[in-house]
Structure 1
Amino acid sequence: MSADPVQAWSGILDRLEADIALAVSGGEPEAWNPPAADEAGPLPEELADTARRILDAQLESMAMLGKVRNDALAHLDALSTVPDSQSSARPLFLDVQG
């Protein structure tokens, strides 16, 4: 176990928080692997509120990223309904002014 669990967990929580910020700003965080049980030990009580705040931020970011994903899928679906100009035998524009 780490000599100072508060310091070890502070580093873990800081990394999670930074990854959330990076993800919601359009970046791609590096793969994260949880620490082994003997690396940090149980979460110190004084960091419980911080951990809850980060969990809430993760849930909010997952919801936001899910909405962005669904919006992108809807746009792609709408684009798929536009006929390809190469395969269309009919005019693509209609001159309504003559």
Structure 2
Amino acid sequence: MTFIENFFETINQGIKYNREHKQELKEKVNKNKVRGFVGMLFMSVFFSFFLLMSFYMRTAFDNVINWYIFIGVCIIFLSVAVYSMIYYLVLIIKDHSKK
């Protein structure tokens, strides 16, 4: 078999597996949605803590630019965590509204 034939055969086997184990895969996806939401919740709490602590530890930085960089990185990670948390929450709500 050539590479292309092998590639398409692997895809076909994956499609057959998905059709046969559809319910199991749905349950796994639902667990992953909840895990993703909880993980992003912890991540947002973690970076909120770092952001708050940076205001108390302002004098620990060598200069003000490093402090601004640290705050910027915390805000970026915090916004990504909150956005992902909202995304997972919407997915969970959509899934429960279908039932």
TM-score (norm 1): 0.43
TM-score (norm 2): 0.43
Higher Rg: 1
With a CA cutoff of 8 Å and minimum separation of 6, indicate the structure with the bigger relative contact order.
2
* Bigger helix fraction: 2
